[in-house]
Structure 1
Amino acid sequence: MSKKYSRSDFMKLAIEEHLKSEQFPRVGVVVVVKEGDLLATGYRGETSNVHAERVALRKLHPDQVQGSTVYTTLEPCVALHDEQEIESCADLLINSGVKEVVIGVLDPNATIYSQGFRKLLENNISVSFFNRRLRQAVEEETFEFGNISKIVGCGKRRIPVIHSGIELQVQFSEQDNRTINIRWNTLQPKSGCVDLLSDNGAVRVASGARTFSDITDPMVFRFESHYARMRKGMIAIIKPSTSTFYVLIQLIDLFENDILFKWEVRNDR
């Protein structure tokens, strides 16, 4: 006699699959029937270049998938362009006759964010989400950078900037928990600019600087403000009056819904 699982059990099983993935973003999937029977599992990377939803569904006969519930730790992807040869995971679930999809977290990739969720609803598939505690666990383990709202030390990151933008906390290092808050918003890809904000008077544009090594003293740059309208290649300095360190930020590229930037933290001397 097969074991009967609760909805919470299935969420945890999907996370177990998720943790098997060695690729980012990690994704784990379980497929179940209404009575609580586990049908199949899958995770990203289990089969090379195949998304977790497809990995799991391929293990089943099409008749088994009809009316099933799919638990996935990450929002199913959508088609990114009209010429896409491989069916998106959202379309796969719809065309397979799945009745319900339970999602761990929405994909922060701004091209996908909420689009898979919306497409499932538009095709009369019931959609619900993992409970808050388990969503937090998924969030911490899904993406290569862990907490998508925090950046640490120095690095490079591509992030979505949609609706009211995204707020980030810059932490000096893993061992040093000093932080500075920044916000990206008002992305205008056609105009080639995006706004970088922080505290009033904390933002300076490093006019003329081409690399971080060109900046020896951030305070030589005048005209402090609460924001900088950034274009590709521009460097801004974030130094709140009460902070003992500052952040250098350079916009590398911007896209329809995303930006790519790099940053470096330095102690204030």
Structure 2
Amino acid sequence: MTYSPTDLMKIAVEEHLKCSEFPRVGAAIAKNGKLLSTGHRGEAKGVHAERIAIQKLGRDELEGSTLYTTLEPCVELHNDQAVGSCADLIVSVGIKDVFIGVLDPNGTIYSQGFKKLVENSISVKFFNRKLRAAIEQETFDFGEVHVVYGSGKRRVPVVQSGIDITVYFSKTDTRSIPLSWTTLQPVHGCVDLSSQIGAVKVAAGARMLSDVTDPAVFRFPSHFARMKKGMISVVQPADATFCVLVRLIELYENDILFQWEVRNDP
């Protein structure tokens, strides 16, 4: 049976949906429209979906083939890694074309797998927009990377122009406040948190979100706060009926870990 590229994207998504752990990743390999193998994360313990699909085939089958993967292939993160990266493996086995569902939002990987493939003369294309949107919702345990609800913790990339995040009061209460993380400077240990003009106040002296018993006591509103590890800010635009407390937990080279909590305006 001969499959179209869209058919093969959907097959990769079907594999992706078989995953019982996050992040969900599915892969399919084809040549001239013929499906050769599939794989999904969790099919073999500790082995990534792309590697599972590749290991099911011989070199002759892989030469000139096309890989469909729902998530950007990983890259080498440190020199003593026990297993090489999927991007390096794809390059080494002779795969000619790669279709990617979504780029990995982990700041240490974001666009690096894509870049590695392109630099090694592999043609890289992306799944269609409708499938990308579905993959974005199903890949990570926190769902859409640009949306958060209620309270929690999240690690997000802050690369180039940063990342915009909308905080909803809850999944049933659609009141929202926009946040932006920009200007990450790991060498100086800081990152900028911004929102609408006059919406951000630093909760000076507070160490934990529970220390902030009344967010309204903090003064000096600004359009951004230069956050360092452990700092807490209160975000409440003038027209908002609730506020968001934001605590910076950790900074990395390309991403940050932060905690947030919504509070009703008394």
- 1:10: which partner in 2? 8
1:259 to 2:249 alignment: no
- 2:120: which partner in 1? 123
1:41 to 2:34 alignment: no
- 1:24: which partner in 2? 22
1:98-137 alignment runs, 5 A limit: 98-137=95-134
- SS of the aligned residue for 1:77 comes to coil
Q: Unpaired segments of 5 or more residues in structure 2?
A: none
Identity %: 61
Cα offset, 1:216, TM superposition: 2.0
1:1-269 alignment runs, 5 A limit: 3-34=1-32, 36-269=33-266
Cα offset, 1:85, TM superposition: 2.5
- SS of the aligned residue for 2:261 comes to strand
Q: Is the 8 A contact 2:195 2:224 kept in 1?
A: yes
- SS of the aligned residue for 2:52 comes to helix
Q: TM-score, normalised by structure 2?
A: 0.98
Q: Is the 8 A contact 2:106 2:155 kept in 1?
A: no
Structure-2 separation of matches of 1:143 and 1:214:
31
Q: CA deviation digits over 1:169-219, x for unaligned, max 9? A: 000001101000010011111111111001111100011111222212212
Write the letter of the residue equivalent to 2:194: L
Q: Unpaired segments of 5 or more residues in structure 1?
A: none
Q: CA deviation digits over 1:113-158, x for unaligned, max 9? A: 1111111111111111111111111111111111100010000111
Structure-1 separation of matches of 2:75 and 2:42:
19
Cα offset, 1:22, TM superposition: 1.3
Structure-2 separation of matches of 1:224 and 1:165:
22
Cα offset, 1:239, TM superposition: 0.8
Cα offset, 1:63, TM superposition: 1.4
Write the letter of the residue equivalent to 1:174: K
Cα offset, 1:83, TM superposition: 2.1
Structure-2 separation of matches of 1:37 and 1:233:
53
Write the letter of the residue equivalent to 1:28: G
Aligned residues: 266
Which deviates more from structure 2 when the two are superposed, residues 42-51 or residues 77-86?
A: 77-86
